């Protein structure tokens, strides 16, 4: 045991030395190319990482870090954060330029750990025609028509979830996480909401999710190491399910079933097929993308409603009216969930105000200019979404939660709740469906009161309340 621990420490030291050496080599050359970009690279090796992490976890979030530097340097500035030389930029024009990625100008820029966790075949690691092809192949189950067959499962699951809430202290983040993970697990591979297989699935997924933005040390005891091992276990589980399906023992009309059917179809163009490795990497991608952001959105929405009684009253009025027109003994219908105009505005305002993904990272695939500054091929260019969502010239009184601001159409690229351009969130329709169903049953049955007023957020890529937002729930 002692020998293995000593070996692990030695490996860790070697990795750390390699990282520091790499940083030193980059520090001696790369920043000189950035002389024309205003900003500060901070301290040697760490740069501005400590300030970035500290402010990322504060109630104001990354907005504070960005705003201080924008006040000093303008809309475009450089920094050295989390082991990367970065250029940060904001505004509608920058948004349009970076998110459309015209003529292959930029590509997605995942951290090393994210690349390894998702795998080389992930949609998030593809560019150009490969990205278009893969997105088309996985888009069908996530379309509005494709979601219809999952509506009843989601609705029933929401009802069963809320049956456990009255008179209880509830950690909203935990409940939302369980709900969204059961939904995406059922959609992708027909996992039952309870049972041993579900428990193994949830256990492995949580480890994988927590390792997505961890330090890149793949040695025993680290979050990255645990995440990669959990990824292996998840893929073993998927291999077993795929083998059962191909043997005809477990035919299901789910996302995995549609991919296997395309793969097995005789004479089908190879352009319409995915290998097993491609299937598994993209199932994991959809699990992570379909869980974390929707979980965060549900939690922030419930928090904002409790803090804004007028918005909650108006939302409840819309849902009570829907329920009043329904026959006694019947539940929410597909047509009803697609006719909730004020709910849609509440969702949009939640995503604006919380800005769950505070910045989008891109890698320059070629030299180009942005706001008059030269960007070189290979640079990390980051779009500051928080500042776009809190621009007072677009959103009056931007720190106020006001769903009515979405009564009018906004100019393109001034609101990025689900992103924009060719990489717009493929699970957008699923997220809206889950949130609308969940909120319908919540506001029709319960009132809730926050047990803490802590506004701090977790230091993770997806912004979530640090205290998991505890509430006490009572029947209306």
DSSP state of 217: -
Nearest to 79 by CA among 59, 56, 102, 101: 56
What distances in angstroms separate CA 270 from CA 253, 292, 301, one per listed residue?
Answer: 22, 32, 43
Could you give the strand order of the β-sheet that contains 76-81, starting from the edge strand earlier in sequence? 76-81, 84-89, 380-384, 359-364, 106-108
Beta pairing, strands 359-364 & 106-108: antiparallel
Q: How far apart are CA 20 and CA 23, in angstroms?
A: 5
Nearest to 66 by CA among 390, 417, 393: 390
Q: How far apart are CA 381 and CA 366, in angstroms?
A: 12
**Residue 444 known to bind ligand:** no
Q: How far apart are CA 68 and CA 60, in angstroms?
A: 12
Angle at 376 between CA 108 and CA 135, to 5 degrees: 20
What residue has token string 């677009």? Answer: 394
User: Three-class SS string for 388-428?
Assistant: HHCCCCCCCCCCCCCHHHHHCCCCCCCCCECECHHHCCCCH
Q: How far apart are CA 242 and CA 248, in angstroms?
A: 10
The answer to whether 372 touches 275, Cβ cutoff 8 Å, is: no
Beta bridge partners, 369, equal 374
The answer to whether 363 touches 106, Cβ cutoff 8 Å, is: yes
What residue has token string 């049972």? Answer: 195
Q: How far apart are CA 62 and CA 52, in angstroms?
A: 7
| Close Cβ partners of 458 (under 8 Å, ≥ 6 residues apart) | 57, 464, 465, 466
Q: What are phi and psi of 84, to 5 degrees?
A: -130, 140
Token pair recorded at residue 289: 């993308």
Termini Cα distance of the chain: 57
| Close Cβ partners of 138 (under 8 Å, ≥ 6 residues apart) | 123, 255, 259, 282, 286, 426
The answer to whether 202 touches 174, Cβ cutoff 8 Å, is: no
Nearest to 141 by CA among 292, 283, 296: 283
Token pair recorded at residue 44: 């040697």
Q: Which residues are annotated as a binding site?
A: 425
Binding residues for heme: 425
């Amino acid at each position: 045991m002692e020998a293995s621990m000593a070996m692990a420490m030695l490996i860790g030291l070697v990795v750390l030395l390699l990282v520091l050496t790499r940083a030193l080599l980059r520090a001696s050359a790369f920043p000189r190319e950035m002389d024309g970009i205003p900003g500060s690279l901070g301290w040697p090796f760490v740069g501005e990482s400590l300030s970035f992490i500290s402010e990322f976890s504060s109630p104001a979030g990354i907005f504070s870090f960005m705003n201080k530097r924008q006040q000093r340097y303008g809309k475009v500035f450089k920094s050295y954060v989390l082991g990367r030389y970065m250029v940060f930029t904001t505004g509608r024009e920058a948004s349009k330029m970076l998110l459309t990625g015209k003529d292959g100008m930029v590509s997605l820029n995942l951290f090393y750990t994210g690349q390894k966790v998702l795998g080389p075949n992930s949609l998030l690691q593809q560019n150009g025609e490969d990205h278009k092809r893969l997105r088309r192949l996985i888009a069908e189950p996530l379309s509005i028509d494709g979601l219809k067959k999952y509506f009843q499962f989601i609705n029933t699951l929401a009802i069963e979830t809320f049956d456990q809430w009255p008179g209880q202290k509830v950690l909203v983040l935990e409940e939302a996480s369980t709900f969204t993970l059961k939904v995406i697990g059922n959609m992708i591979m027909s996992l039952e909401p309870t049972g041993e297989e579900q428990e193994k699935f949830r256990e492995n997924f949580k480890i994988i999710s927590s390792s997505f933005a961890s330090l890149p040390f793949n040695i025993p005891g680290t979050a990255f190491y645990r995440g990669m091992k959990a990824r292996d276990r998840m893929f073993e589980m998927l291999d077993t399910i795929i083998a059962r399906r191909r043997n005809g023992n477990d035919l299901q009309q789910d996302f995995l079933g549609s991919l296997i059917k395309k793969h097995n179809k005789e004479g089908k163009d190879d352009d319409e097929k995915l290998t097993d490795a491609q299937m598994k990497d993209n199932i994991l991608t959809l699990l992570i993308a379909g869980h974390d952001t929707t979980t965060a959105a549900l939690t922030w929405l419930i928090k904002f409603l409790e803090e804004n009684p007028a918005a909650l009253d108006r939302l409840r009025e819309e849902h009570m009216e829907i329920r009043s027109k329904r026959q006694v003994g019947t539940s929410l219908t597909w047509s009803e969930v697609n006719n909730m105009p004020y709910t849609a505005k509440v969702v949009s305002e939640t995503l604006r105000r919380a800005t769950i993904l505070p910045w989008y990272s891109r890698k320059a695939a070629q030299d180009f200019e942005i706001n008059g500054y030269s960007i070189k091929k290979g640079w990390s260019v980051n779009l500051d979404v928080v500042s776009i969502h809190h621009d007072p010239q677009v959103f009056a009184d931007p720190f106020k939660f006001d769903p009515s601001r979405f009564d009018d159409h906004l100019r393109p690229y001034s609101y990025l709740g689900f992103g924009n351009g060719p990489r717009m969130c493929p699970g957008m329709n699923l997220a809206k469906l889950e949130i609308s169903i969940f909120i319908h049953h919540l506001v029709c049955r319960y009132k809730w009161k926050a047990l803490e007023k802590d506004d701090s957020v977790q230091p993770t890529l997806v912004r979530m309340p640090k205290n998991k937002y505890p509430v006490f729930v009572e029947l209306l």
